[in-house]
Amino acid sequence: MIELPRRAALAAGAFGLAATALPAERVHGQQLPSALPGSDDPALDGEIDGIDEPAIGAQLAEEGKAIPILTGADKARLARLVVEVAGRHVGKTEGRNFGDVEGYLNLWRGAHPWPRRTEGGRLHKFCAAGLGWVFCEAGREIDPDPQPLEPGRDRPTLGVLRPYVPQVSRRVAHIVPLCRDIVAVAKRRALEDGAAQWVGFDEVDGGTVQPKPGWLVLFSWPPPGRRRGDGTANHVGVVVAARDGGVSTIEFNTSFDDAEQERQRDGGGVARKLRLYRTQRSDGSVAEPVLGFVRWY
């Protein structure tokens, strides 16, 4: 990691969303790349963006840590790691692994105005927060100078991963605990080649775009009897592979039982799923739950 205090100023706010460019410095012998096209758009500085990078940078500086620099040179490797890391969490449940789930949500403390619990004391839905953890964990594994693990730990804790939150958001995909914010920001971003980051369902269903491993898949689960949802994202997963008529995924906060239609977006578990673009319900009606995809490479 970049040592403080030499990089304290960087950690304290050089990655603020209001900045128009990242500082022209060299880290790990490489020139810092510019921000993702569109990621410095002033329109993203408000509530729709969500991540308070100056605040998290200042918090990290107080903890003696700096924001790492993820160059993103090998996005294919990062995509493979994202799928691999997500697989390590498969089988966890909110009941048996309450501490892990709480950690997914607490990762955003100081970075996103997100309440970790409902008024009844239950943890909030964690599908997106869990994937944010996965991307930060994978980001740490490709970091040439990673944050060290805490003594006696064999896997990263939220204190180790929190420095990666701003960089994952800025250089890979904007993954925050609210699915609708993920979609809103993706619709305003573009990749280096100018391709839109958001890929609508019709583009994939029509065969013009094939989802890739590591992409995010957003769902708008329709109510009983409806073919499609209201267009608001209410669940997210990570693509493992494209399949005929759908995608295989790993999803947080879903049900292990595909028959539990009402719990697919709030089932409390981490599971591998096959999501067909068209599924037939027990009453014979057809549902199209996929809203679209976020491509980041």
Sheet holding 216-219, edge to edge: 198-200, 290-294, 216-219, 235-243, 246-254, 269-276
**Residue 194: burial class (beta carbons within 10 Å; 0-12, 13-18, 19+):** exposed
Give pLDDT tens digits for 84-111. Answer: 999 999 999 988 998 898 889 888 765 5
**Tokens standing for 32?**
């810092």
SS3 240: strand
**Cα–Cα distance for residue pair 296/191, rounded to 1 Å:** 7
Average pLDDT of the segment spanning 265-270: 90
How many C-beta atoms surround the C-beta of residue 241 within 10 A?
12
At CA 207, angle to CA 205 and CA 211, rounded to 5? Answer: 80
CA–chain centroid gap for 33, Å, is 21
Give pLDDT tens digits for 17-71. Answer: 222 233 333 222 233 233 333 333 444 433 344 566 667 777 777 777 777 776 6
Look up the pTM and report it: 0.79
pLDDT of residue 105: 87
Give pLDDT tens digits for 228-241. Answer: 999 999 999 999 99
Residue ranges per domain, the chain?
198-294
Any alpha helices (H) in 15-147, and if so which ranges? 53-62, 75-89, 98-106, 127-142
pLDDT band at 199 (very low <50, low <70, confident <90, very high): very high
Beta-bridge partner residues of 247: 242, 275
pLDDT of residue 61: 75
